A and B are shown apart, each in its own frame.
Chain A
């Protein structure tokens, strides 16, 4: 190969020299000679050379070693091809040579990985939730409660009544349930990990009887007992952490931050989990001789689930579907096997309802 012109820096000073470049195949070197004297300045072994060709092919840079200072700049395609033919590695940006194929392949791969994660996440979350000890779950619930900083407005008597019913409906954790009523006119009820169940004052206000509240209470207890709440927290944490790790936002790795805490407070369970909770609630109510129609009538009134949306698209079963399912379940199910059985009667539901309903009245009036 005839000599080719280029520019050379020696890595000792910042000066740049005009040089003539040639390949010595017998010794396996790239030879650098000064111009115009053609005095040999340096020679690099082919095995030391790395070619950077990220500039659209007009110019490229030849480096001696990965981090040593010597560098040659040239625009000769003949030299580039000769160096590559001698086995000199050529650095390019991923996808530079065939961007469309690269982008398509990677996009499909990312879609497959994300789909795999999304599809396996519910199962993985439930398995992980099962192995978390109850006291850790309780501590998590207390932590979330602390972040959310709600204002509870129930009276002590109302709290005792509702907690008493919770211990009845959820004997597996009797003594560790807590039921609160928070200010807020929007009807809502949810459970935190560990057994804290919260009703909004709006839910109490829109209910017409204690039976309806007990139906919702049994439903939320079933969510907690089946670890739906905890597995949803685990799922949310995994998704948030994966996203943070992917984009490099390490601050997002905080397990519970205010945003996550609020999301937990507004969790929407899948349709299957909601059906499970509905069926389990019926069993719990039946086992304690409590009316089972309350949950259905409450849902009908509130319009829970988005009836305007096709059910297959919604995370909730439609209200009509749930009410029908509740009605069918109440006619055929047996008492919950884990519960002590029938025989417990209640004669003061009306009195208890008056107590609960009066609990946050002043707060609701103030908001209105």
Chain B
């Protein structure tokens, strides 16, 4: 039985909201509470179960890892929650295995006719795989979003289709990037970022990205000479400016994102990640991971008023197959 008043009895609990009236905008901060030791014990458990099940436990390990990470990410004092299951991912991996067997079977059968037939089949199937990559990227993101809730309301993604405008955007941008020897990269990247952000939903409300391509491209071309002159070192300063800009142009209702990071800090994070894992032969990975998450979350926030009472649940179901494909093809978000 549920009897909810039409208006919240008290204002939605947002960090800083209980203080006396102030002209300062409300800041919804992010926080990561995960600890290296607890993440380490979780990873150790997964290694053991993966070994004795010859990898069959992997989808459940993945789900549990995401569950741990999500639940340790708090936004304005409330944690994210992961609702995906190992069973969903396992079904997805079975589909991946079936697709791989189909690919091997077709190419082997064609090659048994002639070498030329084998080559043609490989090329055709390769083009087919390349054509579905954008759809897989979308499907993977949509799966993660629809399995994530905050304050009891699920995230979502609009326009989840295997072939959509995103396919044209992705493939066209990729080809233009090749043709321009990489100079089209900032435009392509910004358009991808814009599409993905504008189609992301929280409840029944979309995020909005208002960043313009001209600014992003200008940032890239102004930074490019310094990146080349410093042997790539200046890339971290460019990346920091890009991330700060793109976050500041991301809106949800009347709040906009804020990400405050410096190039030197990104360089430090990179060194921690690379040296921390290689020098410890991977043993420090749990601590490096929790440090990285904390680093990002400490600098991330949304500033402005959000009327949470107007955000309602939307029901969206996405299968886990795209996420499994993305994982095997190394084109997912890596978690």
Contacts and interface: CB of A to CB of B under 8 A. Distances in A.
Interface of A: 7, 9-18, 34-37, 39-43, 52, 54-56, 61, 63, 66-67, 69-71, 73, 93-96, 99, 102-103, 106-107, 109-110, 113-114, 117, 242, 244-248, 250-251
B9 A36 contact: yes
Given A54-B72, A246-B47, 8 more contacts: A10-B2, A14-B12, A16-B12, A39-B5, A54-B33, A56-B35, A93-B68, A251-B328
Given A35-B10, A113-B48, A94 B41 contact: yes
Contact of B312 (A12, A36, A52, A114): A12
B45 A13 contact: no
A10 B78 CA distance: 13
A18 B13 contact: yes
Interface string B36-53: 011111101101101110
A69 B152 contact: yes
A42 B1 contact: yes
A109 B49 CA distance: 10
Contact of B55 (A66, A69, A71, A245): A245
Contact of B51 (A7, A15, A242): A242
B10 A17 contact: yes
A55 B152 contact: no
Interface in B1-51: 1-5, 8-10, 12-13, 33, 35, 37-42, 44-45, 47-48, 50-51
B13 A107 contact: no
B153 A16 contact: no
Interface in B277-335: 308-313, 327-328, 330
A121 B154 CA distance: 48
A69 B151 CA distance: 8
Interface of B: 1-5, 8-10, 12-13, 33, 35, 37-42, 44-45, 47-48, 50-52, 54-55, 58, 61-62, 68, 71-72, 77-79, 81, 83, 96, 149-154, 202-203, 308-313, 327-328, 330
Nearest to A55: B33
Contacts of A248: 50, 55, 58, 61-62, 327
Contacts of B313: 11-13, 69
The interface centre, meaning the residue of B152, B153, B327 with most chain A CB atoms within 10 A of its CB, is B152
A18 B42 contact: no
B41 A17 contact: no
Contact of A106 (B44, B150, B327): B44
17 contacts: A9-B151, A13-B308, A13-B313, A14-B308, A16-B78, A34-B5, A39-B5, A66-B83, A69-B149, A71-B81, A95-B44, A99-B41, A106-B41, A106-B44, A244-B55, A248-B62, A251-B328
B312 to A, nearest CB: 5
B9 A34 contact: yes
B48 A109 contact: yes
A54 B312 contact: no
A245 B202 CA distance: 35
B2 A14 contact: no
Given A14-B202, A54-B68, A96 B51 contact: no
Contacts of A56: 33, 35
B3 A39 contact: yes
The interface centre, meaning the residue of A15, A35, A37, A43 with most chain B CB atoms within 10 A of its CB, is A15
Given A35-B9, A114-B51, A13 B1 contact: no
Contacts of B8: 15-17
A114 B52 CA distance: 9
A110 B51 contact: yes
Contact of A71 (B54, B152, B327): B152
A266 B327 CA distance: 32
Given A7-B13, A250-B328, A14 B44 contact: no
A106 B72 CA distance: 24
Given A35-B9, A41-B3, A113 B308 contact: no
B52 A113 contact: yes
A17 B203 CA distance: 18
Contact of B153 (A7, A11, A114): A11
A96 B41 contact: yes
A245 B308 contact: no
B295 to A, nearest CB: 19
B10 A94 contact: no
A9 B80 CA distance: 13
Contact of B152 (A11, A66, A102, A244): A11
A94 B61 CA distance: 12
B67 to A, nearest CB: 8
Contacts of A93: 38-39, 41-42, 68
Contact of A13 (B58, B68, B310): B310
A94 B42 contact: yes
A70 B3 CA distance: 13
A70 B313 CA distance: 12
Given A10-B2, A12-B312, A93-B41, A61 B79 contact: yes
Contacts of A9: 78, 151-153
Contacts of A18: 9-10, 13
Given A70-B152, A94-B42, A248-B327, A14 B51 contact: no
B312 A13 contact: yes
The interface centre, meaning the residue of B3, B58, B327, B330 with most chain A CB atoms within 10 A of its CB, is B3
Nearest to B74: A55
- Smallest CB-CB A-B distances: 10 pairs: A245-B55, A95-B41, A69-B152, A11-B152, A9-B152, A14-B308, A14-B311, A15-B309, A94-B45, A14-B151
